[in-house]
């Protein structure tokens, strides 16, 4: 019975509580792999059915964990994605869907924007060229927001740009084709709630159509509808990443989240799902607000706007500067995450000049410092260096991110390794260093003081120092005691 319990728990992430996250499932599985290995050793000389069952269970858990780790590798290495919020809300430049939900404007007026969505200057190849120039390895586009208007020619209803707007076309297909032609991964944002659908309970912030408990047949019709649209996306576009949104209005059981995940993975086992499918996703997605402490679950992705709003908002001129964007990005990757940075084209497909500038400047910086950004791991834990850092995959190189115009020497604490060389990345400029406070009879390492970066070698936004070591990085984590504690 014990083994049956473990097997069921590891497969489904829950037994008694159907809200157990798949995140917890993976942590649970990893812990039990260790425990079961010890049990296996104990029973090695006892043989029998228990040992055989234990062996197959350990193998199964390892296989599940390894498979998920493998499919997530491209995502971990990518570091940067571009988010695109585009829809009829780009006509008047209002809040996407939320403007009618929060009663900033009547629903009827919001839907009148259908008449202004032209996509007449839409150039998907040019969009992708800009995305690639930024250094991004993937892009995510809003295939359908909470307003229910699809950017592809859905066969489930007439609520699409292909049927109800002057554009009269599916604008999603050419974008996905352009991404794949450029060698980039393609992500599909999809709202699982639909405030326009007659069978969806929610409508406005202070009014609903019905409650599920009072009309389960109606809710079942909606479940069939939204799941059929996901199947359409899966079959027609085969996204590398499904970026769901809107799960907060119902629980995992009501959404049939487990069923949706299995439907997607049955067609494409390599598909990645974000963390907004009522717990049945592969990674966390904090929004706008930067985590103060490094998220315990890995990987994770910060989605953030270029100004203060999602989508096209001509009234919002509070754009981030290239310096701010680059320092935020460096902080994200230092903490083992990805940045999904948003742009919002106008209804005709034109991308605001400020957003183009941000992506180009980010791309220029990325090209110069690519080896410190992509295909790297999270940097040193807090306390070893007061700033962002990353570590090479072989763990023998530390990359230190130093903000522009930073004066004085750069300091690393608690580094046991011998430093082979220090260079300013992208320039070839070498820097010297010295060790301060190392006591000969104590194993505690001294402080590494790196010479000040010459002005002619400093980057205008953020300089990166490449610190090559004599082997895999080894850090002191003690309290500074004489015995090295």
Residue 476 near residue 417, CB atoms below 8 Å: no
* Residue 299 preceded by cis peptide, ω within 30: yes
Q: Is the pLDDT of residue 73 over 90?
A: yes
Three-class SS state of 265: helix
Give me the pLDDT at residue 64, please: 52
* Confidence band of 347 (pLDDT split at 50, 70, 90): very high
Residues 6 or more apart in contact with residue 428 via CB below 8 angstroms? none
The whole-angstrom separation of Cα 58 and Cα 37 is 7
Which of 123, 128, 127, 137 is CA-nearest to residue 77? 137
Q: Is the pLDDT of residue 51 over 60?
A: no
Structure tokens at 383: 């306390």
CATH 2.60.40.1180 fits 376-469, yes or no: yes
The whole-angstrom separation of Cα 100 and Cα 78 is 36
Question: In the CATH scheme, what is the code of domain 79-368?
Answer: 3.20.20.80
Kindly list the domain boundaries of the chain, sorted by start residue.
2-71, 79-368, 376-469
DSSP category for residue 112: G
Residues 6 or more apart in contact with residue 382 via CB below 8 angstroms? 294
- 196-205: per-residue pLDDT in tens? 999 999 999 9
Largest distance between two CA atoms of the chain: 79
Give me the pLDDT at residue 186, please: 98
Residues 6 or more apart in contact with residue 213 via CB below 8 angstroms? none
The whole-angstrom separation of Cα 396 and Cα 418 is 11
DSSP category for residue 198: T
Give me the pLDDT at residue 66, please: 66
DSSP 178-220: HHHHTT-EEEEEEES--TT-TT-SEEETTEES--GGG-HHHHH
Q: Is the pLDDT of residue 481 over 80?
A: no
Average pLDDT, the chain: 89
- Give CA separation, 265 vs 180, 274, 379, in Å: 20, 13, 32
Beta strands in 57-129 (DSSP E): 80-84
Give me the pLDDT at residue 405, please: 86
Give me the pLDDT at residue 323, please: 98
Structure tokens at 138: 């993937």
């Amino acid at each position: 019975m014990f083994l049956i319990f473990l097997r069921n728990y590891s497969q489904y992430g829950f037994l008694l509580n159907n809200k157990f996250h798949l995140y917890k499932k993976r942590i649970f599985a990893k812990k039990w792999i260790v425990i079961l290995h010890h049990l296996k050793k104990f029973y090695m000389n006892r043989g029998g059915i228990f040992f055989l069952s234990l062996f197959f269970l350990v193998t199964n858990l390892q296989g599940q964990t390894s498979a998920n780790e493998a499919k997530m590798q491209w995502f971990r290495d990518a570091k940067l994605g571009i988010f695109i919020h585009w829809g009829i809300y780009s006509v008047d430049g209002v809040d996407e869907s939320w403007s009618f939900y929060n009663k900033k404007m009547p629903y009827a007026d919001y839907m009148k924007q259908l008449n202004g969505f032209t996509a007449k200057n839409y150039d998907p190849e040019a969009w992708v060229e800009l995305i690639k120039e930024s250094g991004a390895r993937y892009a995510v586009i809003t295939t359908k927001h909470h307003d229910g208007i699809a950017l592809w020619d859905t066969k489930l209803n007439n609520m699409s740009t292909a049927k109800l707007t002057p554009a009269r076309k599916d604008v999603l297909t050419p974008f996905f084709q352009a991404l794949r032609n450029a060698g980039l991964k393609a992500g599909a944002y999809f709202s699982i709630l639909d405030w326009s659908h007659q069978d969806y309970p929610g409508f406005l912030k202070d009014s609903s159509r019905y409650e599920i408990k009072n009309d389960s047949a109606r809710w079942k019709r909606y479940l069939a509808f939204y799941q059929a649209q996901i199947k359409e996306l899966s079959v027609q576009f085969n996204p590398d990443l499904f970026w769901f949104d809107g799960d907060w209005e119902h629980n995992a059981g009501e959404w049939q989240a487990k069923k949706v995940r299995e439907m997607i993975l049955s067609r494409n086992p390599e598909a990645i799902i974000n963390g907004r499918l009522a717990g049945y996703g592969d990674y966390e997605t904090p929004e706008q607000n930067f985590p103060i402490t490094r998220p315990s679950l890995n990987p994770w992705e910060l989605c953030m706007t270029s100004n203060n709003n999602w989508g096209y908002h001509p009234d919002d001129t509070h754009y981030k500067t290239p310096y701010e964007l680059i320092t935020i990005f460096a902080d994200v990757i230092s903490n083992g995450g990805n940045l999904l940075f948003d742009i919002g084209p106008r209804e005709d497909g034109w991308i605001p000049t400020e957003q183009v500038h941000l992506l180009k400047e980010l791309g220029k910086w990325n090209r110069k410092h690519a080896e410190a950004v992509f295909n790297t791991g999270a940097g040193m834990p807090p306390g070893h260096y007061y700033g962002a850092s990353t570590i090479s995959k072989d763990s023998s190189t530390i990359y230190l991110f130093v903000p522009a115009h930073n004066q004085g020497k750069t300091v690393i604490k608690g580094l046991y390794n011998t430093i082979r060389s220090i260079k300013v990345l992208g320039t070839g400029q070498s820097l010297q260093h010295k060790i301060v406070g190392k006591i000969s009879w104590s194993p505690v390492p001294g402080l590494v003081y790196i010479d000040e970066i010459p002005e002619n070698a400093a980057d205008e936004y953020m300089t990166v120092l490449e610190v090559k070591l004599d082997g895999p990085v080894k850090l002191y984590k003690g309290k500074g005691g004489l015995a090295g504690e």
